[in-house]
Each structure stands twice: as structure tokens, then as C-alpha cells.
Amino acid sequence: MSVIKAILVVAIVAAALWALRHRENVGLRAGGRLLLFAVGALAIVSVAVPDITQKAADAVGVQRGTDLVLYGLIITFVFTSAGLYFRQRDLEYRFATLTRALAIHQAVEPADLTGSIPELPDSTA
Amino acid sequence: MPVHNEAAVVQGVLTELRKTFSNVVAVDDGSEDGSAAEIMKAGAVLVRHAVNLGAGAAMETGLAYALAQPGATYFVTFDADGQHQVHDAAAMVALLRTGEIDVALGSRFIESGEAQGIPRSRRLLLQAGRRFESMTSGVSLTDAHCGLRAFNRAFAQQIRLKLRGMAHASELLDVLKRSGLRYREVPVTVLYTAYSMKKGQKSINSVNIAMDVWLHQLFSRRAGR
């Protein structure tokens, strides 16, 4: 692996970490969506002009056009997975907060015991 | 006290606890057995999650309830499966009352602490976990994952846990470190009974815990979560 490749790999990892740390930045999210449009446009272009991926690969020094597409795909996949992971975690946190509020609202205190055992709060677990 | 499917033992554990502690909150974390009814029989406050959220979330719910009670000064977390000793918890609260520390953490590996009947593999795993913990959180402890803790209001108010499952123990240390509060490990006895071993964590789950903790630290925004 040449030095430039090593630098590129490090740069990608650093950029990924930075982007994920600042994932709530509005500009970054907007950029991500614009990127999505750009990828869509590129897909259409590459269907219309199949040779274009090869030409792009030649331009950046990658041997085959399909390899270039594959790299792009891998990077997109990693970012998408990470994004989903964090979104899911945020959702879980909201869900926990909601369930907690509900549980505390329905708490049964022993003082409620008026001779009979109080009914259990609804639980559809 | 977080409770998940502990109907067989929870009443006994709670009854024992209530001999020393008058205010006991049990959080039924979406149990599918009769845990909730057993909790009520024992005369503890019952707070019930409609779905299972994990031990960390259940603990936080219990604390949220307790924090809302006027006059609540000290808080104890206790496992429902009977592995902890009530007198250990009482000793921890006594230590808090002296005002020397804000947080007391149970340790079964500190000198004069005990882990009765602990399998050798579990001991090794917990020691590895401890090393991982001191590396990632910067808090150096002899026991990383003991469920018996006692702390004051200052610490209870700061606890906001985002990690699911058992990774909350590590996240808690993270909170502890950032809080700058004074803490100390206190020797406790943990009983490894056939029941607690059957109910307890699978060792392989430590892989999940480590991954969760690591990802969390890597990607968390530095200022305010």
C-alpha cells in the first residue's frame, strides 16, 4: 500500500468519526441528503453511459470502474449503518423515558393497601 | 431494586430488606411471571414498566421515583435475586452518613469482600472487565459490575443512562467520573447460588457490553448528552 493510500484511509476514518460525533449538525444532515441526490443522479448517468464508471476510475487511479462503485457503496453502507444505529439508540432512549413516566404515574404504594390487594397497573408485556 | 422475572425469590428479598429499610421501591421491568404480585405482598412500592427495558433503565426508574419523594437523602441499588446482603447495604449507608463520601460501590474482590461460590471463569471475566473499565472510564475499581451501591442525592440526580442491558454499570462509572464526586469501594459479600447463576448474566454477554461501551465513548458528543 502506497503512502497516499494510507493517508486516504486515515482521512476517511477521521472524517467518519468527526461526522458521527457531530451527527446532529444541521449542515451535515443537509449535506448527507444532497449527497443522496447526487448519488441518484450519478446512478442515472451511469445507466445511460455505462463506460463512465471506468473513465472515472481511470481518472482517480482505480483499476476497474466496478471497484470504484464498490468503494462508494462500502462507504455509504458504513455511514448508513452507523446513522441507523444511533437513531435507533435515541429512539430507545425516548421509549424508555416514556415507559418510565407511565410506570411512575401508575406506581402502587403499600399505603394504597386498603385491606385488599390493589389491582395491578395494566401491563401488556 | 430492579426486578425481572424473579417471582420465586423477590418477596423474600424484599421482606428482608424492609426489616432495615422502610422505603423500598421495586421496579418490575416487564416481568412475565408473578413478580408484581409478589412485590406487593412484600409491602414495597411497586413501579411497573409496561415492557422490558433492561436493568439500567429499571434502576433509573426506581431512582426517579425515589428522588420525587420528599426527604429522600440516600439511595441504595440492590439486586433482586438475593445475591446481596442487607447488612452490607446498611453499612454503606452508614458510611454515606459520615459525609466522607458521596458514592459507595460494593466490591466482592476488595480485601475482606467475598464472592461465595463464584466460578473461576466468572472471576477471571470480571477481572478482565475491570481492566477494560479502568481503561475506558478512567475510574479504577476492584469490582466493575457489582449491583450493590449506595449514594446521595447529588449523584442520584446525575444518573441518565442510555446504554441498554448490563452496559449501564460501565456507563454509571462514566457518570461518576464526570461528576467529580467522592467515591469509595466497600467490601461486600456476593452469594453465587444456583438460582442466581441460572438467572444471571451469560458470560458471552460481556462481548456485547464491551462493544456498547466502546461505541458509546467513541461517538458521544463531548458536551452534554
Interface predicted TM-score (ipTM): 0.73
- Among A21, A100, A125, beta carbon nearest to B219: A21
How many domains does one find in chain B?
A: 1
Predicted pLDDT of residue B62? 92
Is residue A71, in this structure, part of any structural domain at all?
yes
B212: enclosing H helix or E strand: helix B205-219
CA distance B135 to B132: 5
Predicted pLDDT of residue A112? 57
Is residue A115, in this structure, part of any structural domain at all?
no
Residue whose C-alpha cell reads 390487594 in the numeric block: A117
**Nearest chain A CA: its distance from B123 CA (Å):** 31
Positions of chain B with pLDDT under 70:
111-117, 133-139, 144, 164-166, 194, 196-206, 217-225
- Do residues B26 and B44 make contact, with C-beta atoms less than 8 angstroms apart? yes
Residue B211, C-alpha cell as written in the block: 462493544
Is residue A114, in this structure, part of any structural domain at all?
no
Is residue A23, in this structure, part of any structural domain at all?
yes
Predicted pLDDT of residue B75? 93
* CB contact (8 A) between residue B47 and residue A110: no
Residues of A in contact with B215 (CB under 8 A): 85
Domain that holds residue B34: 2-219
Is residue A112, in this structure, part of any structural domain at all?
no
Is residue A113, in this structure, part of any structural domain at all?
no
How many domains does one find in chain A?
A: 1
Positions of chain A with pLDDT under 50:
115-116, 125
- The percentage of chain B sitting over the pLDDT mark of 90, rounded to a whole number, equals 11
Is residue B225, in this structure, part of any structural domain at all?
no
Domain that holds residue A43: 3-107
- Do residues B62 and B151 make contact, with C-beta atoms less than 8 angstroms apart? no
**CATH number of the domain enclosing B48:** 3.90.550.10
* CB contact (8 A) between residue A103 and residue B27: yes
From B147, B47, B45, B42, select the one nearest B92 (Cα to Cα): B147
B67 touching A (Cβ < 8 Å): no
Predicted pLDDT of residue B224? 38
Residues contacting residue A16 through CB under 8 Å, at least 6 positions apart: A78, A79, A82
Predicted pLDDT of residue B201? 63
Residue B124, C-alpha cell as written in the block: 477471571
* CB contact (8 A) between residue B30 and residue A125: yes
Is residue A121, in this structure, part of any structural domain at all?
no
- Among A89, A102, A104, beta carbon nearest to B162: A89
Tell me how far apart the terminal alpha carbons of chain B are, to the nearest angstrom. Answer: 25
A99 → chain B, closest CA residue: B49
Q: Where would I find the H helices in chain A?
A: 3-21, 26-48, 52-60, 65-105
- Do residues A124 and A102 make contact, with C-beta atoms less than 8 angstroms apart? no
Predicted pLDDT of residue B225? 37
Is residue B224, in this structure, part of any structural domain at all?
no
